[in-house]
């Protein structure tokens, strides 16, 4: 089969993804093809043209012959590529029950303007004006963390004259240099490993650094060091809120180090955004819900003193600082009639607290 023919067949597959308005495609050798549309999986029909060739051959063209040989040896592959003349997808290829399977995520072809993210615009603007510090965007896989960070970096790229430096695995959004100079390094392509790239980043003269996911103690320490040395540093974590985020970072270090880490974190952490994408009741869309914690004198004291469990109360009472809780964000969707109260409860970190957003005050009941 020629490369041109294989490309045409891959295009038939990816066209399904785009035409359905899906975010993800799941397919395995001998299995059904599913698309995730607005958060829900739907069965899709495999194009007849594709069903005539082997899944191994199609996968080889998807990730490249050299990568396929490595994939067979390691049993895993992560990457990204451009398809259909401009759309970009993130690709994970793996084995399940001895057969090859794909998980493909469509990345938006354009950067989301900050106004359309669903986050407080003033907070986003304040983040983009920071000269130094650590900004964390957290949440589960598929919660839009990468999209949020790409939007913030895109805004900075258009309004500042500095050096944006990223370490990504893989590169998902491609940033062309605008007002900023942008250097994007992909693990496995531009650097041997994430940790090797971390060791050399300060020698590359960055102003703004995107580290991607902080996976371990080494990457967490690097993020703090970058922030301490005058860089604006962005990173992600798979955590469910600011309290969980602080606890996760502290617990990654030995007990003898934790006091120092608390001090470093209190000094350098600027914002924690925890987000999730919540499907509407009518399944016609999704909205971003977020908890936002901003570093204030009170928050910094809680981090230093090991009282992060008190943070949620501080977040609830600090809306004037731009903070908000996940429950407040969910309650707003209910009030806009995009989701039901029951559906909000499925995404709430604290259902009892959520219920209070819908209680009629005693004074109102007596009128």
Are 97 and 34 within one domain? yes
Quote the domain boundaries for residue 237.
114-324
**Is residue 364 assigned to a domain?**
no
Are 172 and 293 within one domain? yes
Rounded CA-CA distance 218/346 in Å is: 34
The residue among 82, 102, 81 whose CA lies nearest residue 92 is 102
Domain-terminating residue out of 288, 304, 324: 324
Please tell me the predicted confidence (pLDDT) of residue 3. Answer: 53
Are 143 and 235 within one domain? yes
DSSP character at residue 106: E
**Is residue 82 assigned to a domain?**
yes
Are 177 and 298 within one domain? yes
Are 199 and 289 within one domain? yes
pLDDT tens per residue, range 357-367: 987 554 444 44
Per DSSP, the chain holds a count of helices (H) and strands (E) of 15, 13
Q: For the range 290-293, what are the long-range contacts, defined as Cβ-Cβ under 8 Å and sequence gap of 24 or more?
A: 290/118, 290/119, 290/324, 290/326, 290/329, 291/241, 291/242, 291/315, 291/324, 291/325, 291/326, 291/329, 292/119, 292/120, 292/123, 292/322, 292/323, 292/324, 293/242, 293/323
Are 229 and 162 within one domain? yes
**Is residue 8 assigned to a domain?**
yes
Torsion of CA 13, 15, 20, 22, to 10 degrees: 70
Write the CATH number for 89. 3.30.450.90
Question: Per the structure block, which two tokens stand in for 366?
Answer: 């007596």
Please tell me the predicted confidence (pLDDT) of residue 361. Answer: 58
**Is residue 288 assigned to a domain?**
yes
Please tell me the predicted confidence (pLDDT) of residue 340. Answer: 95
Domain-terminating residue out of 74, 107, 140: 107
Are 100 and 124 within one domain? no
Q: How many domains does the chain have?
A: 2
Are 185 and 303 within one domain? yes
The mean pLDDT values, 10 residues at a time, for the chain of 367 residues are 65 92 95 95 92 91 94 94 87 96 91 92 97 98 94 98 96 94 95 93 97 94 97 98 97 97 98 97 94 98 96 95 97 95 96 86 46
């Amino acid at each position: 089969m020629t490369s041109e023919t294989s490309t045409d067949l891959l295009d038939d597959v990816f066209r399904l993804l785009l035409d359905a308005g899906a975010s993800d495609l799941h397919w395995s050798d001998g299995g059904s093809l599913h698309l995730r549309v607005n958060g829900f999986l739907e069965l899709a029909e495999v194009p007849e043209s594709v069903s005539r060739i082997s899944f191994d051959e199609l996968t080889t063209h998807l990730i490249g012959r050299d990568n396929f040989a490595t994939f067979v040896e390691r049993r895993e592959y992560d990457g990204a590529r451009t398809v259909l003349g401009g759309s970009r997808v993130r690709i994970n290829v793996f084995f399940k029950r001895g057969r090859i399977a794909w998980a493909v995520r469509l990345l938006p072809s354009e950067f989301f303007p900050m106004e359309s993210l669903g986050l407080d615009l003033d907070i986003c603007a304040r983040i983009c004006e920071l000269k130094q510090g650590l900004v964390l965007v957290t949440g589960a896989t598929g919660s839009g963390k990468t999209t949020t960070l790409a939007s913030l970096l895109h805004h900075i790229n258009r309004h500042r004259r500095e050096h944006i430096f990223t370490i990504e695995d893989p590169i998902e959004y491609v940033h062309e240099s605008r007002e900023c100079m942008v250097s994007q390094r992909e693990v496995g392509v531009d650097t041997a490993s994430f940790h090797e790239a971390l060791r050399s980043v300060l020698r590359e003269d960055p102003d703004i650094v995107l580290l991607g996911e902080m996976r371990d103690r080494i990457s967490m320490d690097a993020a703090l060091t970058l922030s301490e040395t005058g860089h604006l540093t962005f990173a992600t974590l798979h955590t469910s809120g600011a309290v969980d985020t602080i606890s996760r970072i502290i617990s990654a270090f030995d007990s003898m180090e934790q006091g120092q880490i608390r001090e470093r974190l209190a000094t350098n952490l600027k914002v924690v955004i925890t987000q999730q994408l919540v499907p509407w009741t009518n399944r016609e869309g999704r909205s971003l819900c977020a908890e936002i914690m901003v570093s204030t004198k009170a928050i910094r004291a809680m981090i230093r003193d090991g009282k992060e469990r008190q943070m949620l109360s501080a977040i609830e009472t600090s809306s004037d600082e731009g903070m908000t809780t996940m429950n407040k964000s969910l309650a707003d969707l209910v009030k806009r009639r995009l989701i039901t109260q029951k559906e909000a409860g499925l995404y709430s970190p604290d259902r009892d607290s959520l219920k209070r957003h819908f209680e009629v005050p005693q004074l109102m009941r007596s009128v």
